[in-house]
Structure 1
């Protein structure tokens, strides 16, 4: 009977361990989305009228382990270009295509570029019938926020995975 209890305890322990691994549990310090140590302190520089992007970048960078700081030794995430565009195609059904292009790079504490400029593009489209209730503005505002959120996540993922191409020195 004693052997049966030991086997049951081992099976229960293995089952609980497999359940934790299966649900994505990781011990602290092994977060696969944590940023490289070099970028642990960062400042964000954005063009005008990009409050939503600043909010999203701040949220995702801090959750990835970056301390947002204006100190002199902090790296700078510099957004060089923020270009939202809307294309309207008319017909019986009206189709709108929304595109957001963002170009960014990382600068060192002295303001010298460390990485090549990188452009991220996100696109969404939606259709509506002009003869029915007009919800175009609501849908446009919602999808614009979705695009900003998507681009902010892509930027943070690229910083976290250290996939940004370093600046090649001029020869």
Structure 2
């Protein structure tokens, strides 16, 4: 029996593969497909009042740019179609458990971040909303420095969790729907109206904002 020998297939050149890949990306983009990780905001421009000299503010801006690369973050509210206003950022440290000698065995860490999203006229897209994060931490005053480092790490993890939740809220479908209605001039008579020029209020946190320390709690006694 004769067996026909198949000629070895000729490999595609790298330039050809790159061109084919680019064409596929452009085609998917034209069809509305978005790369994983990108969830564009329904605005071309956005002003963020969260202080940018804090890690939280920097992380929020970094996440917004990554999720919505075509949205430009402006330096003033007058340039923006929408404004993300920080209303409050309260960070707490509470004793939740004491041992027989009256020493703290466990702390509860908390962050309460309140924000709103408005259009350039002050119409609420997202009215005042509070995102809360809690974390409990066992404590031993014999290794105070180690616990201080652990506390800072926990606060950073809580902050990142709030950044992720904030981003999901800003890119949700109801925000898209509200933004579309406002662009069409359809106002919700029941939605609150805020001052687009209002400065952020941070009465609960020193500026620049920082997380509490176990030293703060010890000073009360």
Q: TM-score, normalised to structure 1's length?
A: 0.70
For the Cα contact (< 8 Å) 1:101–1:119, is it kept in 2? yes
Q: SS in structure 1 opposite 2:35?
A: coil
In 2, the alpha carbon distance for the partners of 1:106 and 1:132 equals 43
Aligned to 1:67: 72
Going from structure 1 to structure 2, the CA distance change for 1:59 and 1:151 (only over 3 Å counts) comes to same
Matched, 1:138 2:149: yes
Aligned-pair RMSD on alpha carbons?
3.2
Query: Given the alignment of the two structures, is residue 111 of structure 1 paired with residue 122 of structure 2, yes or no?
Result: yes
Partner secondary structure for residue 110 of structure 1: coil
CA distance in 2, matches of 1:49, 1:115: 21
Query: How many Å separate the matches in 1 of 2:148 and 2:110?
Result: 16
Task: Kindly provide the CA deviation profile for residues 142-164 of structure 1, in whole angstroms up to 9, marking residues without a partner as x.
Answer: 11111111101110111123345
Report deviation, 1:119.
1.5
CA displacement, residues 7-62 of structure 1 (integer Å, 9 cap, x when unaligned): xxxxxxxxxxxxxxxxxxxx66513553455223211013x697122111001000
- Bigger mean CA offset, 118-127 vs 130-139: 130-139
- Residue among 43, 59, 81 paired with 2:88: 81
Local SS of the residue matching 2:59:
helix
Shift of 1:127: 0.8
Q: Do the aligned partners of residues 141 and 39 (structure 1) sit closer, same or farther apart at CA in structure 2, a change above 3 Å counting?
A: same
8 Å contact from structure 2 (residues 52, 58) kept in 1: no
How many aligned residue pairs are there? 150
Structure 2 gap ranges (5+)? 10-27, 179-186, 192-221
Residue 45 of structure 2, aligned match among 28, 41, 47: 41
Structure with bigger gyration radius: 2
3-state SS in 1 of match to 2:127:
coil
Residue 200 of structure 2 corresponds to which residue in structure 1? Answer: none
> 1:135 Cα shift?
1.6
Q: Counterpart in 1 of 2:133?
A: 122
TM-score, with normalisation over the residues of structure 2?
Answer: 0.56
